[in-house]
Chains A and B, each alone.
Chain A
Amino acid sequence: EPEVTQTPSHQVTQMGQEVILRCVPISNHLYFYWYRQILGQKVEFLVSFYNNEISEKSEIFDDQFSVERPDGSNFTLKIRSTKLEDSAMYFCASSEAGVMALHFGNGTRLTVT
């Protein structure tokens, strides 16, 4: 069964550094998402992406965050200047039918020191 692939599985970065989290969605999917889960807290929506543009974003997704689909297969989340509170598990998801059938990756654990 096709799956969403995220790399790396664990990323450690220093506060203030830029980080890029990478995702390869399922190939025929058209909707792409990023969610995050801070340790011990709920899974939170960050952003949805469709037709090469952001379709919805949360208040968490401020100017420090950006998403890109650079080559038709990858879907990336960039954090420009990381803060300690950005430490979390980041999940990428894709779908061919919007929120009705999301497929999640295994996540990237981001640790900001």
Chain B
Amino acid sequence: AQSVTQLDSQVPVFEEAPVELRCNYSSSVSVYLFWYVQYPNQGLQLLLKYLSGSTLVKSINGFEAEFNKSQTSFHLRKPSVHISDTAEYFCAVSDRGAQKLVFGQGTRLTINP
């Protein structure tokens, strides 16, 4: 069965510092991988995704994630965070051909000035 583990439930960082949010998954088949972001009182928004091709994927607001098949990981990184990045971040996996996402438990990213 698929599962997703986000090792850190909370990550506090200072503004302009780099950040890495960790995500590991388990699946027996080829997968799609996703990061979703949830700002306070809002729904989940797709941040970036890996479907195929280049293992490094990027979002428009400076986040990037790298698919590492050997380590079954899809860690999210940003070299310099901003106050507006404060949110909860969810990693998710889907088997190719399936119609459901399996989510991790989320990581709350808090940016301190």
Q: Which A residues fall within an 8 A CB radius of B? A: 4, 31, 33, 35, 41-45, 48, 50, 55-56, 58, 91, 93, 98-107
* A48 pairs with B100, CB closer than 8 A: yes
Other than the known A35-B101, A35-B103, A103-B46, what 11 A-B pairs have Cβ atoms closer than 8 Å?
A4-B43, A42-B104, A42-B106, A43-B106, A55-B99, A56-B98, A98-B99, A100-B51, A102-B44, A104-B36, A104-B44
Whether, in the assembled complex, B42 has its beta carbon less than 8 Å from a beta carbon of chain A, the answer is yes
Whether, in the assembled complex, B105 has its beta carbon less than 8 Å from a beta carbon of chain A, the answer is yes
Q: Which residue on B lies nearest to A54, using beta carbons?
A: B99
Residues of B within 8 A of A98 (CB): 99
Q: Which residue on A lies nearest to B41, using beta carbons?
A: A106
Residues of B within 8 A of A106 (CB): 41-43
Residues of A within 8 A of B102 (CB): 45
Residues of A within 8 A of B110 (CB): none
Interface range on chain B: under 10, 10 to 19, 20 to 34, or 35 or more?
A: 20 to 34
Majority-rule SS of A interface residues: strand
Cβ-defined partner of B98 (8 Å) among A31, A91, A99 = A99
Residues of A within 8 A of B103 (CB): 35, 42-44
* B45 pairs with A104, CB closer than 8 A: yes
A-B contact pairs, 7 of them (CB 8 A): A98-B99, A99-B101, A100-B32, A102-B44, A103-B46, A104-B36, A106-B42
* B105 pairs with A31, CB closer than 8 A: no
* B44 pairs with A101, CB closer than 8 A: no
Which of the listed residues A4, A42, A98, A101 has the most CB atoms from chain B within 10 Å of its own CB?
Answer: A42
Which of the listed residues B42, B44, B49, B92 has the most CB atoms from chain A within 10 Å of its own CB?
Answer: B44
Q: Which of B37-95 contact A (CB under 8 A)?
A: 41-46, 49, 51, 90, 92, 94
Q: Which residue on A lies nearest to B42, using beta carbons?
A: A106
Cβ-defined partner of A42 (8 Å) among B32, B94, B105 = B105
* A48 pairs with B44, CB closer than 8 A: no
Contact with A along B18-45 (1 / 0, CB 8 A): 0000000000000010001000011111
* A100 pairs with B104, CB closer than 8 A: no
